[in-house]
Structure 1
């Protein structure tokens, strides 16, 4: 893959871009297999090199008349990456329009050194059907009235826009977004169609940034789960319900647990529309387990820190026959596996969720 920003040294986010792609995949597979031994590894799933990122997280800098959308360089100046080839075509087409909207609505970009300005980030997500969600991350509500005033112009200039919202992040620290969200459109969710299932995505809900790899991940999990035909399944850290909804079957009790109430609402709506027998509850994954009888299969998809000693200990003592562990960090995966010696990893697959970087997703089937 060629990138003029990388060649010019303006952006090094794709840190492995100088390596041939087959070498990248081989290196990732070797690192994972060294950390998690004794597993029958399927061939890794390769990602498209261009146009695979369904979400753009753009730092806004510069001026009202000349905003930059991209990243900050080491000196704190904005580097414009609105033509980044990693983003889906719809996002690439939308970013220049959004830059023009910043000027039209007179939203002052936030300046980190002086702590002045309002617009910190633009977060843009494209669904597989080409619909867009746009989120304006602001320091305060000061520009909201102007955004609402000019929103009809944006909808005309960007017909694919389905959901628009404002996120308020008033603190001066390296946090992408705040807790408070103001939805500006009647439509509140973006439909992420994956393997024929519509996953409703609300503004503050998490979804994998590589739709093709997410589809492959859910398909593999479904295939391995169906082999053991569990009567009951828990999907912990379930997010918007990707695993739970793919594993739902008539007669199978499927429960998803997620700390985000927004994600639970999204997953519940998706299940209802699809007619799938899966239910979702908001709560901490680890705390939820205590004093409850174990299901036949548990799915865990934790953040990079892993599931931790308490949940690992519960799974070890629970009697659960099978666990599907989806990990974005094989080091914490290996640590968690060491705490669950009765649950042996038998199959695994690496999915290259983030090509040209050292990041990935790994799915491992554990069997007691």
Structure 2
């Protein structure tokens, strides 16, 4: 894939841009296998690849420039807006919306936040597209000052973008590198974006996390479901469950399944999905994964973990090592922390592994391993 922004030096976010896709995938596979080389019994499945371009279902656009000439993209080293509306990794359905969103900034008089001067209101536009083509739009603002104007002109925007289903304003008043704040103001009747992945309906609220590559996320969940179905545990946990992707794919009519996630919004979304699917033996709760495990009366037969980049850490790794859990499905976005966690669980041996290229054009990838108690 070639990118005019990368070639011009305007954006270097995609560090592997210009390298052949086959080389990218091979390099990621080699990197992961080297990190996990000491586990000699590990069987590697073929890597899951992605479209090279147009794969991102979510665009986080910094808003720079002026009201009359807004720039949607990133900031340069001086804090000035760099327009990236034609970014090739964004899904075409997102790219098609950017002209209308830029025009809306002008229509509603939303002053872009000037980072060096610490003035202005609109910091980011965050746009997400569902597999069915519906859209969720979030305005990240310094205050609620602009909300009344957004409400006033929102009908015109929805007429321009009829796929717009969920709109909200997130309030982030602080001058620091934090994407969003704690307060979300919903501006539409519809509260969730339906994300249909494989045969499972997931629901995404504005502040909930979802994998940015829908096609590879579908493969990730399907692989987990295949492994869990083969093992057929009577009980399972999904720790760091998010909106319930793994839990809802791995649910079964006779399987007790619990999902744990710190985000109450994500838990509410997961519970809604379980209710709509009639999964009475699946429940979700808000809480810390490690604290939940340490406080549990008994361990399940299988645990799924999908932690952030830092990994599960020594507390949860130590509990899993001593718990008697027979199998763990570990999905990781950072093979370095995965290797560290595996070293802390010597009784749980990785038997199968698979690299999934969730993030083409970058050095990042997802890897999932199946652990079995020795």
TM-score (norm 2): 0.98
Within the alignment, does 1:41 sit opposite 2:44 as a pair?
A: yes
What is aligned with 1:159?
Answer: 162
Using the alignment, how far apart are the partners of 2:53 and 2:313 within structure 1? 35
* TM-score in terms of structure 1 length: 0.99
Instruction: Please give the secondary structure, in 2, of the residue aligned with 1:290.
Output: helix
Q: Give CA-to-partner distance per residue, 1:227-278, whole Å, 9 cap, x none.
A: 1100001000000000000000101001100010000000000111122231
Mapped partners of 2:355, 2:136: distance in 1: 29
Matching residue of 1:333? 338
Partner residue in 2 for 1:27? 27
Deviations along 1:169-224, one digit per CA (max 9) or x if unpaired, are: 00000000011100000000000000021100000000000000000000000001
Q: Distance in 2 between matches of 1:261 and 1:172?
A: 26
Alignment of 1:85-124 (within 5 A): 85-124=88-127
Unmatched tracts of structure 2, length 5 or more: none
Could you tell me how far 1:103 is from its partner in structure 2?
A: 0.3
**Partner residue in 1 for 2:8:** 8
Q: Corresponding residue for 1:68?
A: 71
Alignment match of 2:210 (pick from 193, 200, 207): 207
The question of whether the paired residues in 1 share the 8 Å contact of 2:2 and 2:18 is answered with: no
1:286 corresponds to which of 279, 284, 290: 290
For residues 8-29 of structure 1, what are the alpha-carbon distances to aligned partners after superposition, in whole Å with 9 as ceiling and x for unaligned?
1111111101211111111111
Q: CA deviation at 1:279?
A: 0.8
Of residues 301-310 and 9-18 in structure 1, the stretch that sits farther from structure 2 once superposed is 9-18
**How many residues end up aligned between the 2 structures?**
368
CA distance in 1, matches of 2:184, 2:277: 27
1:274 and 1:87 mapped to 2: Cα distance? 31
More divergent stretch after superposition (75-84 vs 119-128): 75-84
Q: 1:179 to 1:30 in 2, by over 3 A?
A: same
Q: Distance in 1 between matches of 2:3 and 2:278?
A: 44
Report whether the alignment pairs 1:217 with 2:232.
no
- Counterpart in the other structure of 1:227: 230
Q: Once the 2 structures are TM-superposed, how far is the Cα of residue 74 of structure 1 from its aligned partner?
A: 1.5
State how far apart, in whole Å, the 2-side matches of 1:318 and 1:148 are. 52
SS at match of 2:136: strand
Q: Aligned equivalents of 2:133 and 2:317: distance in 1?
A: 40
Contact residue 78 and residue 116 of structure 2 kept, 8 A = no
Query: Within 5 Å, which residues of 2 pair with 1:285-324?
Result: 285-292=289-296, 293-324=298-329
CA distance, structure 1, for counterparts of residue 311 and residue 183 of structure 2: 27
Q: CA RMSD in A?
A: 0.7
- Is 1:342–2:370 an aligned residue pair? no
Structure 1: 5+ residue stretches without partners: none
Task: Compute the displacement of 1:65 (Å).
Answer: 0.3
* Alignment check: 8 A CA contact 2:52 2:89 kept: yes
